[in-house]
Chain A
Amino acid sequence: MGNAGPRSRWQVARQLFVGGDDPYAGADLTSSRNATAVLLALHGLLVLTLLPLFPPTEGAGEAVGWTLALAGVALNLASAVWLFRMPEVRFGVMLAIAYAGIAELVILQLLAQTVLPYQVLFLIWVGAAAVQPARRALVLLVTIVAATLAPLVVGGPDAQSGDVFGLALLLAAIGLVLIAYVAYVRAQRLTLQAQERDARAHAMAATKRVRDLQWITDAALPHAGLQELLEQLLSRIATVFDADHGAILLRAEEGSRFELRATLGVEQDVDAEFHRSIASRLAGRLAFSRRPVTLARDDTSGLVRTLLKGSDLESLLGLPLTLGREHLGVLYIGTRTPRRFSDDDAALLQLVGDRVALAVDRARRMEQERHIAETLQRSLLPDQLPRIPGMQVAVRYLPGGAGMEVGGDWFDMFELGDGRVVLAMGDVVGRGVRAAALMGKLRTSLEAYAFDGHSPAEVADRLHALMERQHRAEMATMLYVAIAADRTCAELASAGHMPLLIRAPDGTARLAGREPSPPLGALPFVRFDASRVEIEPGSTLILFTDGLVEVRGTSIEVRLEELRRAVEAAPANPEALCDALLVAMLGHEEPRDDVALLALSVAPLPAEGFSLELPAEPEALSSARKALDRWLREAGMSRSDAHAIKVASGEACANAIEHAYRPGDAAFRIEASRRDAEVLITVRDFGGWREPRGTDRGRGLPLMEALMDSVRVDPSSEGTTVQLRRRVEEG
């Protein structure tokens, strides 16, 4: 914008005559040049006309006089032509020509020894003076008047004082009128130009503001997280307003405290508290005014003094972020150099603020929903899979690309009361909180139906019926694998899910469950079929969701084959296998969709023994018992031996659980081994041995002693070890 508003005509005129730089210098040169050239030519022709009437022969002889006079005329005409042809002529040149013309006339007067006829031609140079910049014009006019009056002073040949004086007066008057008129026209033109310039600057500023606004709010990218959004917005706002300091504070979810969410030009720890105090003080004022507030250090209000005191800020522009009646937070920018934010700045920031508030509100909502869905999903997925001897399991769960809502992939694994182990995986069609909630419901229902003793097909039937009753519009896939207690086979039911991959001990891999029933909830009347697969000891079962194999533009068959080969190429260990499959199928990129992957290796329990670490919870007793039961059976133990060992070990484990210091993360370990006809069970806990209290609690130890040949309890500061031995019948 111009350094001042449109200037008044008087101011322009004053500047033309008095002010420092000539505002007209360099402007309107062409018309001045043309006028000067025409006048110069006219001067030459008029002199040529006057010469025969008043010959220049009186002053310096005939030859010299004529030569000089005609040379002058020739020079006049040549200069006029030259002047016309010159592309650029400075005012100084034209001025020099005017002075030369005046000098020529003075010389002619001397040569002709007559004054008046030639003095009349001064009128031409009065005209030439008028087109000069005003101050020069005045000086030239004074020179002309002086040249006119000169014969009176010097005493010219026929100086009639009355005529000369009258002529001088006439020239001065005409000159002044002309100069004033030209100055007036020029002032008017300058004023118009200034106005036009201002208008253009204004229009450009408005365009820039719209562009700035657009640019700032471009940062409100639809998928950006709240934090990223705030930082982007603040940095762009600071750039547009040319501020070196700024912060966005948002009201905490609950309560009225403001939290510093994004800062610019702030040394983190030192200034954070200062920012907060600025914000809370500003907030009151801003919330009240609901308009931007500008502050500068030279203000004298109390607010400014309290706010800017103790900071190196010189000026500040603050804005409440409001949405309807809700007060979301505060945004402000500041500078360390003296500056006063203009009303235009405040108006632009107000516009920016409205958009920032909208974007913040939207991002916050999205983030809340995502947070809810993630929390829900996490709480609905098992945080720990059961530890079952002879089985190693690894799971990977990769949420889909950033900014996406959470999906409905889920998995589960549990051991049934009869020793069967169930693996389940599913994918609810859809995303977000709804999908996560349905996924949780399916997972819970599946476990309940499974524990009720239903077969895989029956479990699928029931889940389908549940969806039909409660979620008619939704659909989900599921793969249910029940591994038999003896681990030699598995029964599986698939509702539209990806097949099961089985990696044999020799490394070959095959797909099972390739003809699934329709997804749960897809068709009204469906019965689900189950199929049976043999499992060689040392096999690995692999369950996965479509996110692992689906790639736009590639057939699923091709991808499944790629996966099968990747399994054959991968190591057998479940953890390493999962890692290798993710790299082979997804590369190192973030998956587009959610990916769930579970690998479970089924190994026979070694005959010489096993070791198992379990959480110190009463529920772990049954896991320990099942493992022991299976091992004892595979080792060919008699039923009474097996039962005695199971009960005695159970007592030792129960002790370990009851002595656990910290519920939750405490664990205990059970080891079983056999040497010839003797079975040794060792149970270790990491708490302190507690002497039996009361008659009821003291039944465990006598029971162990009665059932086993020897019982040894070794308490130590690190924990207690119980060793149980029993000689068994040779099987």
Chain B
Amino acid sequence: MTQLAQLHLDEAGGITVATVEGEIDLSNATELEMAISHAVGNEAVGLALDLARVDYLDSSGVTLLFNLARRVARRQQRFAVVVPAEAHVAEILSLSGATEALALHESLDDALRAFAT
């Protein structure tokens, strides 16, 4: 049952775009974190993580976000997370204090625009 979530990787203007679809919990958070972090090359400007199509995310998912933010920051790269405000995931992120700590965006376009500034 490792097919809980699917990861799609893309690249737009030097920014690695990782889109996760499905559910993130204890069983796949570490794998996802490794997969995403390996996908971000040294030459990339930043990482945009699109969670718009994630139905379920628990505290291990939140931990994943913080860990990714730390890894990316260490490499002098920028990090943006896409979560629509109405998504259930947004509530979890705000309850966990991730909203303040991470750059959250309503859509991927918003996130990419933010990188451009």
A residues at B contact (CB < 8 Å): 414-415, 417, 451-452, 617-619, 621-622, 625, 639-640, 643-644, 646-647, 650-651, 654, 657-658, 696-697, 699-700, 702-703, 706-707
Contacts and interface: CB of A to CB of B under 8 A. Distances in A.
A671 to B, nearest CB: 19
A644 B57 CA distance: 11
Given A622-B27, A702-B96, A654 B3 contact: no
Looking at B27, B58, B60, B95, the one whose CB has the most chain A CB atoms below 10 A away is B58
B95 A619 contact: no
Q: Chain A binding site: helix, strand, loop or mixed by DSSP?
A: helix
Given A618-B25, A618-B26, A703 B95 contact: yes
A625 B26 CA distance: 12
Contacts of A621: 25-27
How large, as a class, is the contact surface on chain B? 20 to 34
Instruction: Classify the interface of chain B: helix, strand, loop or mixed.
Output: mixed
A696 B64 CA distance: 9
Contacts of B3: 417, 451-452
Contacts of B88: 639-640, 643, 647
Contact of A417 (B4, B60, B63): B4
Given A699-B63, A703-B92, 9 more contacts: A619-B1, A643-B91, A647-B56, A654-B60, A658-B26, A696-B66, A696-B67, A702-B95, A703-B96
Contacts of A696: 63, 66-67
Contacts of B91: 640, 643-644
Interface string B54-70: 00111110110011000
B95 A622 contact: no
A363 B23 CA distance: 53
Most buried by A among B26, B28, B67, B95: B26
B22 A417 contact: yes
A450 to B, nearest CB: 10
- Which residue, of B22, B59, B95, has the highest number of chain A Cβ atoms within 10 A? B59
Given A417-B4, A646-B56, A699-B62, A622 B92 contact: no
A597 to B, nearest CB: 25
Contacts, number: 73
Nearest to B87: A643
21 contacts: A414-B1, A417-B1, A618-B25, A618-B26, A619-B27, A621-B26, A622-B23, A622-B25, A640-B91, A643-B56, A643-B88, A650-B25, A651-B58, A654-B25, A696-B63, A697-B63, A700-B58, A703-B59, A703-B92, A703-B95, A703-B96
Contacts of B96: 699, 702-703
B97 to A, nearest CB: 9
Given A654-B26, A703-B96, A622 B60 contact: no
Nearest to A648: B58
Nearest to A415: B1
Contact of A647 (B4, B58, B67): B58
Pairs of residues from A and B, 5 with the lowest C-beta to C-beta distance, nearest first: A618-B27, A699-B59, A706-B95, A618-B26, A643-B88
Contacts of B60: 654
B59 A625 contact: no
A452 B3 CA distance: 8
A687 to B, nearest CB: 15
A650 B28 CA distance: 14
A625 to B, nearest CB: 7
Contact of B1 (A622, A644, A647, A707): A622
Contacts of B62: 699, 703
Contact of A622 (B4, B57, B59, B66): B4
Contacts of A702: 95-96
Contacts of B56: 625, 643, 646-647, 650
A700 B1 CA distance: 23
Given A703-B96, A707-B95, A654 B59 contact: yes
Interface string B18-46: 00001101111000000000000000000
Nearest to A452: B3
Q: Which residue among A617, A658, A699, A702 has the maximum number of chain B CB atoms within 10 Å of its CB?
A: A699
A647 B52 CA distance: 17
